[in-house]
């Protein structure tokens, strides 16, 4: 269970891609003479991004690997803040700090989800460091929460539910989602 005071302080959630939004697998090949890289994302995590935004939180992607698959997924989810280090160095802290400066946010107001060593500089600085079940031991040690779900299997969704519950807004945000879709379950409206 997340600490309510820490949870309420969070204004932005940063997400690593490989191993967090995906299971870390990379599908590499060629098609029509072009290099192709595909990743497998989880629909539950897409929903999590919607829920976080509905709760008034920002969402940013911070990947150490530049990939068209990441760009496509970010666009689909309406995530504007997408950091992809294409220098091969896989740096995350520096570009993330630049993003926070732009948004007028502090590291303590951020949660970050990671799985590997490249995430450690960020995880050791943010207010709420989160590791996925498949994270390496050092990343788990640095985290305030380790999800039961592995990356690419709804880990972002699991953290999102914990965060919104700790903030006391889970019910409201879920109701809003159902209402927007126009199909509120009968037991929620009190009618049959």
Q: Closer CB to Mg ion, residue 139 or residue 166?
A: 139
Segment interacting with Mg ion (CB under 5 A) among 99-107, 112-120, 140-148, 177-185 = 112-120
Segment interacting with Mg ion (CB under 5 A) among 116-124, 157-165, 166-174, 184-192 = 116-124
- Which of 2, 7, 10, 16 touches Mg ion by CB under 5 A? 16
Long-range own/partner contacts, residues 86-95 (CB < 8 A, 24 or more apart): 89/64, 90/64, 90/65, 90/118, 91/64, 92/16, 92/62, 92/64, 92/118, 92/119, 92/121, 92/122, 93/121, 93/122, 93/125, 95/62
Q: Closer CB to Mg ion, residue 116 or residue 158?
A: 116
CA–CA dist 116, 183 (Å, integer): 40
Segment interacting with Mg ion (CB under 5 A) among 15-23, 25-33, 95-103, 138-146 = 15-23
**Residue 23 within binding range of Mg ion, rule CB under 5 A:** no
How many amino acids of this chain bind Mg ion (CB under 5 A)? 5
The least CB distance from residue 71 to Mg ion, in Å, is: 17
Which residues of the chain form contacts with Mg ion (CB under 5 A)?
16, 18-19, 115-116
């Amino acid at each position: 269970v997340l600490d309510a005071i820490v949870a309420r302080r969070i204004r932005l959630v940063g997400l690593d891609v490989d191993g967090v939004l995906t299971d870390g697998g990379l599908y590499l090949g060629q098609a029509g003479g072009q290099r192709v890289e595909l990743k497998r994302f989880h629909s539950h995590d897409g929903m999590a991004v919607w829920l976080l935004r509905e709760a008034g939180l920002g969402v940013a992607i911070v990947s150490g690997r530049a990939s068209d698959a990441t760009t496509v997924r970010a666009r689909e989810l309406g995530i504007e803040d997408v950091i992809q280090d294409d220098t091969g160095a896989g740096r995350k802290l520096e570009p993330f700090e630049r993003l926070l400066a732009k948004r007028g946010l502090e590291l303590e107001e951020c949660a970050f989800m990671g799985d590997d060593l490249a995430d450690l500089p960020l995880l050791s600085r943010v207010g709420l460091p989160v590791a996925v079940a498949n994270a390496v031991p050092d990343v788990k040690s640095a985290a305030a929460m380790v999800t039961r779900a592995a990356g690419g299997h709804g880990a972002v969704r699991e953290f999102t539910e914990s965060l919104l519950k700790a903030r006391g807004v889970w019910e409201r945000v879920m109701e809003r989602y159902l209402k927007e879709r126009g199909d509120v379950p009968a037991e929620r409206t009190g009618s049959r």
